[in-house]
Structures are given as structure tokens and as C-alpha cells.
Structure 1
Amino acid sequence: MVWAVDGVDLDVPAGQTLAVTGPSGCGKSTLLQLLGGLDRPTEGEVWLGGMRIDHLSERALARLRRRSVGFVFQAYHLMYELSAAQNVELPALLAGASPRAARRRAEELLQQVGLAGRARHLPSELSGGQRQRVAVARALANDPLVVLADEPTGNLDSAATHDILRLFDELRAAGQTLVMVTHDERVAATADRVISMRDGTLADDTRLDGDGRGMRHSHQGTGSGGTGLGALLRWED
């Protein structure tokens, strides 16, 4: 049996930006899926907002993801038959917001990500960087407790990557809890903290200063325990 994530003990305070790095196949994306309730641990517990979530029904997990977790994927995963504004409105509508409130929220978010003038455009009419900014706006639609981003700049050129990094820096300054899986050192350097994974375990943990330099480094090894987002999320073996 292969253990994709094994014996991880991680605590991330609310409002922190965390970058998860490591080679392909080390368990980064699996960890993100567990944190977001997209997958369930074979052992251990996952907690979000003080509530254990790993034993919830699929329907309850879906409700929780809609209201409390924002996802940003490398491949955008936009609805290509919907406009940028409609893509951003959709999570709010699914969570029970009125069409008027969802439309107003979408307008605010598209303004925030610099795409107010592209609200009526379909994803096929947008560049890769613009699509990813729509995806970030969509992830924020329901004011989530945490945004989980899986290789958010993996499909972008340098200019578009710069735009996304600037946007993430704005989210960080606003106090949004953000967990990013990335191979890109530029993305990792924008975080408050960087953890490195090897073979499903945490290899090291570095806290960064404002210039992206490491301030503290501690080897985590393969200790037992839980995975947590401070008071937001916890997963214990």
C-alpha cells in the first residue's frame, strides 16, 4: 500500500499564507484535497472552523466547500459557456444568495482582480492570466475561511504570473488565509511560510520575512499528529 500523505502534523494560523513545495508525487496536491474536503483520510481527522469534517456526508461536505473553502486550480475549471461574471456569480447562487446579491458580489470581485471591463466575456475570449484571475474571483465569492490554490501559475507566462502574484499579495495583506501548492519559487516567496514535502511527509518548515527570506527553519520529519489550519482546520492521525 502507498501512503500519499503519512503522519503529517501541520498548524496554519488564520490569516497566514502558506506555500507547499516539493517534487512531483510527494503528496502536495493530496494534502490540499484533504484540507479542502475533496478527499477523506483513511486515518485521522480533519477539522474546519472548529468542526470535524472528515466524517460528514457528501451532501454536508459539498455545502461546507461552497461556503467555507475557495479553490483555485492550475487548469482554471471555469464554465466555458458562462461569462466571467456568471462564473463568479455561480458559487454565491449555489450557496443561496439572491441573483441581485450574487451579481453585485461578482461585480465587486471582478473590479478587485482588474477585470471589470471583461465581465461579459466568455473564458474563450480571455487570456490565461485573465481566466486565472476570474478563477480567483470565483474562489472568493462566498468569503471563504480559506482559499486553496493548486499550482495557480502553472499554465501562465511570466507577465500573467506577475499579475497573479500581485493579486495573492493583496489577499495576504487583506488577511485571507491562503494555502498554495507550487513548484514556482516566485510564488513560494510571496508566502508567510513555506513547507516542503518529501514522500508524503513534511521535510522542513520555513517562515519568511517580508523580503521572502527564511527566518526560521525546523525539520519536521515523519512525526505523527494532525494537519490543521489553526482554529480553522485540523487533521489528526
Structure 2
Amino acid sequence: MNYVNRHYFTLQELLTAAMLAALGGVTSSALSIVRAVVHTVVGLPFGLQFMAGIHVLWLVLAVGLIRKPGSATATGLLKGAVELFTGNPHGLLVFAYSGFAGLAVDLAWLLLARRHCLVTYVVAGGAGASTNILVFKVLASVPVHGALGAGLAFLAFVAFLSGVVLAGLLGWSLLRSLQLAGAVGAQCGAAPPKGACRGGKALGIVALTLALIGTIAFLAKSKSDSHLAHTRDAPTVSAGTMTTP
């Protein structure tokens, strides 16, 4: 009688997700404490966005090792639980940050047709790392005009680049190293067939280009709105008499 596994994730996949969530949760909690100290001393919120990719590295590894839709999201939620119980200063918000980061990684992986190549993980890492700014903007109802909006757009772009390097490139290198060492199956980190990633490369280049163009356009619009608001609020002089609105 053949045994049919009716569970979506196997026991080995669940253990892999739990291991990555534990490593990522402890690391993220430590980085969040460091960020809080930097914010207290320097006064710069989100001062460690250049390290945002580290938070997403474990989710990229999860989708690369488990290779099932939803694996990054599940790992992200588990990672949020670990962060909550290891003293992350964000409290319950870590579930939103980690969960949406995992969801972005899963969506990027699916949109790139689950291709197991460098571009897929680079785009997934960048998308996952930049979601924390979006979640903060939505939960805190932060306006997207003026200097504050420009600052958020810049931080999101920095987080995206951090995800590209620290989650995408580093994650791909780790997967390749694990495969060469024989620690994981040949499907993880293996070089794709010739031409398999051409579409992924094109989509990746388009995604990076759109992210850059969108950031530049957003910064330009924010600067324009700020200038108009300053002009509108400035006192006017007419016929030698100064009036204020």
C-alpha cells in the first residue's frame, strides 16, 4: 500500500523552514536592537536600510531550498514569531514585516516562472527587502509628498539594492555552495539549462529599470510638491504692501 503525503509541506521542508526562521529571527532581532541604538544616538530612523537584505536572506534561501509557492511566506511568519520571542523592539509588527517580505519573495519567484537562476533570486531579494518601507508607510499612514515622501522613496530604493546584494547574490552563492558540498539536492543551486533564464534576465532588467525610474520620478514629484507648497505659503508683496495668506 503506497503512502500518499497529504500535507503541502513535508517534514523535511518544515524542518528546513523552521531552521531558517530561527537563524533569521535571532539575526533580525539583533539588528533591530542595533538599529534602535543608532536611532537613539544619531537620531536617524531606518538608519540600517543598507542591511535590510540580511532580514530577507533566509526567505530567499527558503524558496531556493524548498522550491514551493508559499515557502518564503511560511518561513517569514515563523521568523516573525522567533523575533517576537527574542525581544525585537517592533513587537507584533514583526509579523507584518516578515510576512509581507516572504510574500514578496514568493510573488517574485512565481512571476519569474520559478526559474532557478541568479536573476530570480536577485529580484526576489530586492522586492522582499523593500517591503518594510511600504508596510511602515501603510501602518503609520505616512504622507508620500514633500521631503518625507522623498526620504521614504530613497530608503526603499536603498533597501531594494541591499536585498539585491545581501539576499539575492549572497543567497544564490550559498545555494550553489550547499549544492557543490552535497548538502542539498542537485536541483538547489544547480546551473540552469542554456537559455533557461533569458526571459528571467529580461524581466529582471525591466524590474530594476522600473524601480530606478519610479524612484527618480517620485523624488522629482516630491521636490516639485515641496516647492509649490513653499511658494504657496510664502508671503507676497504687491504695490509695496506685504500680505500673508
State the TM-score, normalized to the length of structure 2: 0.31
Identify the structure with bigger relative contact order (alpha carbons < 8 Å, sequence gap 6+). Answer: 1
Q: Larger strand proportion, structure 1 or 2?
A: 1
State the TM-score, normalized to the length of structure 1: 0.31
Q: Larger helix proportion, structure 1 or 2?
A: 2
